């Protein structure tokens, strides 16, 4: 009886590992402000199987919890690129990038520099920086 139980537990453990419903991953996603954060996280959360998405404005790190049985990182990256943000593996099309707000143009050095000035952005400018 013990051997059957051990075998059953091994099979369950292998199956769980192969299809992790709470897989964790992180990746770099380009962006510059809180508007970018909202857009990136919302895009991820609309992807089937994504349970949590938190993007850090300063480090550009996106932390994900997702169900591997329903999606994969490549699919999530395509969704992010679809709303105009680049990842290391998938770049947004020029058309998708053009759709982001002018203050979110992370490929533009002037925009990046203006965001590096940090907390000097006024909160009342309507852009939620």
Summarize pLDDT for 30-71 with one digit per residue, the tens: 999 999 999 999 999 999 999 999 999 999 999 999 999 999
Neighbours of 100 (CB within 10 A): 20
Residue 2 included in any domain: no
Q: Could you give phi then psi for residue 119, rounded to 5 degrees?
A: -70, 0
Q: What is the pLDDT of residue 84?
A: 97
| Contacting residues for 129 by C-beta, under 8 A, at least 6 apart | 33, 34, 35, 103, 115, 121, 122, 123
| Contacting residues for 22 by C-beta, under 8 A, at least 6 apart | 51, 65, 67
Residue 12 included in any domain: no
Residue 14 included in any domain: no
Residue 85's SS3 state is coil
Least confidently predicted of 25-34, 66-75, 115-124: 115-124
Residue 113 included in any domain: yes
Q: Work out the percent of the chain whose per-residue pLDDT is above 70.
A: 76
As a whole number, the mean pLDDT across the chain is: 84
d(CA 29, CA 44): 12
Q: What is the pTM of this model?
A: 0.76
Residue 53 included in any domain: yes
Residue 6 included in any domain: no
Q: Give the structural domain span for 49.
A: 20-125
Residue 4 included in any domain: no
Q: What is the pLDDT of residue 19?
A: 78
d(CA 118, CA 60): 14
Q: What is the CATH number of the domain that holds 81?
A: 3.30.70.100
Contact call for residues 48 and 72 (beta carbons, < 8 A): no
Least confidently predicted of 31-45, 66-80, 86-100, 114-128: 114-128
| Count: domains in the chain | 1
Q: Assess whether pLDDT exceeds 90 at residue 126.
A: no
Residue 57 included in any domain: yes
């Amino acid at each position: 009886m013990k051997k059957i139980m051990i075998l059953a537990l091994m099979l369950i453990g292998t199956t769980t590992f192969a299809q992790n419903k709470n897989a964790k991953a992180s990746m770099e996603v380009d962006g510059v402000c809180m508007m970018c954060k909202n857009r990136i996280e919302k895009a991820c959360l609309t992807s089937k199987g994504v349970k949590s998405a938190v993007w850090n404005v300063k480090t550009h790190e996106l932390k994900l919890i997702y169900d591997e049985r329903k999606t994969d990182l490549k699919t999530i990256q395509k969704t992010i690129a679809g709303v105009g943000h680049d990842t290391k593996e998938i770049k947004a099309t020029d058309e998708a990038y053009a759709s982001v707000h002018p203050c979110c143009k992370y490929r533009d050095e002037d925009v990046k520099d203006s965001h590096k000035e940090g907390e000097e952005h006024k909160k009342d400018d309507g852009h939620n920086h």
